[in-house]
Amino acid sequence: MTRLVIDPNLAAFLDTLAYSEIGPKLLAKSDDGYNVIVGGTLFEGYEDHPRKLVDLPRLGIKSTAAGRYQLLSRYFDAYKDRLNLPDFSPESQDAIALQQIKECRAIDLIKGGRVDEAISRCARIWASLPGANYPGQHMQKIEVLRNAYAKAGGVFS
């Protein structure tokens, strides 16, 4: 697997998002989260988004979230076209996450080590981030995410 070459703080932030969305146990038993379907099952092959609709009765929702950043299939389709991506590979998943962070106007915050502000801006996309408004879904504590960011090599300002 070839990871995109990016700013170290951005790489640490991506790792933090994966930790937040997937958790350390699933990250460890998967392909670093890239092949995880919401609910904890794994998929094979990166030709396309797995497009599996999973019933999550505990949350009262159904979801197609998959991959390291738990991207819904409908958003994958839009970003695949917009970014001219070939597949749902780890590289494509990273490119989409970086585009989403950019759309949240958080890239410069992350590069500058202002992670709390970046998390706040990105909470509208990722349900596990503090301040996200996704009823019933688990939200991480900011302290947990700060620790994950630091362990991933991120630097704070």
Active site residues: 21
Q: Rg of the chain's alpha carbons, rounded to an integer?
A: 15
Euclidean distance between CA atoms 42 and 67, whole angstroms: 9
DSSP state for residue 107 in the 8-state scheme: H
Whether the CB-CB separation of 26 and 69 falls below 8 Å is answered with: no
Euclidean distance between CA atoms 100 and 29, whole angstroms: 26
DSSP state for residue 106 in the 8-state scheme: -
Whether the CB-CB separation of 56 and 62 falls below 8 Å is answered with: yes
